Amino acid sequence: MLSSNLRQLHRLGRGAINMFSTDAKQFPEAKRRFIPSQGTYPHGFFAGGSHCGIKKNGKADLALLVSDRPTTTSAVFTTNQFCAAPVQYDRSVINGARDAREQRVRAVVINSGCANAVTGQQGLADAQEMGEAGAAFVRMFDKERGVEHEGGEALVMSTGVIGQRLPLSKITDGVTAMQVDETHEAWMRAAVAHMTTDTFPKLLSRQVDIAGQPIHLAGITKGAGMIHPNMATLLGTVCTDASVPQSLLDKALAHAVARSFNAISIDGDMSTNDTIAVIANGASGVVVGDGAAYEQFTTALTEFMADLASLVVRDGEGATKFLTIEVTGARTFADAKQVASTIATSSLVKTAFYGQDANWGRILCAVGYAGVALDTNKVNMAIYPGDNSDPLVLVKGGKPLLPVDEARASEILKQEDMRVRVELGLGSEEARMYTCDLSHDYVSINADYRS
């Protein structure tokens, strides 16, 4: 922990910096319930956010997360072949640390407003310079705290318009002047600085017990469009004060991301910049080893990341509905996820929910063309409302239950949250996908994006 004098030094910053409001009242009223007013954050992590001048409208565009000690770090990246310079840079940093069996990562620098994607060798050089600015901040951070570390490296993440160079001097000056702190307000500043077309900041934190001892998780993510699985799907960082060996952290992240950030879809587009990183600094003193502790940590991380990823779907561009697609009774997890993904990405299904139409035929059609062998006589389907009242059963034993209770359907489909449950009757595996409806506003938002 910092002394009061050092904490005040970090709050004051090192130079002029453009601050901004994190007041929830500035965000849409319907989204304010997802914005935390307080949090419980992992020990040894500091956060900050500012406006450095990337965005012309004066909104926040630079965030910084810093650990007060070396960390074990794992990440998942986009599978888009036009992967952006920050993705290439971060992959080299993490792989280098993994190969050397060293804890190198100390910080993450995130900018919004410019993606640094499809920018060639110059983009790679800019990403490296951005990382070096983060590393320089760490050295100064350590010096001010009077501690001796071997410095460390910084990951970089960028989001925004593709094909433009970063305004690098603004970013490096902004990093140097950044105010970091351990408070909820500091984490909120970092979350707001991630936003592009997002309508609210996405921040989550919690305490969980591992082998009877408390650890903490905190995560920031951003995303409202270009969200589709088989990648990390967007930008996000999860910090924990647990101590987790590299091999176990890699394994836990792979499990968790398949059931969270790789289980959401908004529009079927796959970004060039998507990155999800998990950073463990061990400040809690709780060590996660093989066995029960690992299982508990993986479960906690998966549930936490699923909740964090759900915030992205709730902010889907133009979205009015939050849909959980649940497929049970599959032979394998992969089969269940494939069926769930096919339903979640169907434009016809998504527009039906926007129109509040209980079009069971579109859902059943998607199940049928998902590419998974079925016994159609065993398929059941129902829609469960978010208020936990009785579901509307639409298909049983592969046959529709007609006539559809249109009055009940209307009651359910007016709600914001609902769950589509499809039972395949073939095995014991299940999977979930999280998606939203597809509205007129999605077209308007993306037609005007660059302007």
> Concatenated DSSP letters for 241-303?
-SB--HHHHHHHHHHHHHTTTTSEESSS---SS-EEEEEE--TT--B--TTHHHHHHHHHHHH
| Tokens representing residue 346 in the block | 């169907």
Count the neighbouring beta carbons within 10 Å of the beta carbon of residue 409.
18
Residue whose entry in the numeric block shows the structure tokens 């001892």: 213
CB-CB contact of 337 with 433 (8 Å): yes
CB-CB contact of 271 with 230 (8 Å): no
Beta-carbon contacts of 314 under 8 Å, excluding residues fewer than 6 positions away, are 31, 34, 322, 436
- Amino acid identity of 286? V
Class of residue 272 by CB neighbours under 10 A (exposed 0-12, middle 13-18, buried 19+): buried
Assess whether 233 carries a catalytic annotation.
yes
- Amino acid identity of 160? G
CA dist 167 → 66, 123, 153, 170 (Å):
22, 11, 21, 6
Q: Which residue in the list 73, 78, 196, 233 is annotated as catalytic? A: 233
Beta-carbon contacts of 411 under 8 Å, excluding residues fewer than 6 positions away, are 385
Beta-carbon contacts of 92 under 8 Å, excluding residues fewer than 6 positions away, are none
- Please list the helix, strand and coil fractions of the chain in percent, rounded to the nearest 5, in that order: 35, 25, 40
In whole angstroms, give the CA distance from residue 203 to residue 35: 7
At 362, give phi and psi (nearest 5°).
-65, -40
Specify the 3-state DSSP secondary structure of 404. coil
Residues comprising the chain, all counted: 451
In whole angstroms, give the CA distance from residue 61 to residue 159: 10
Active site (catalytic) residues? 233
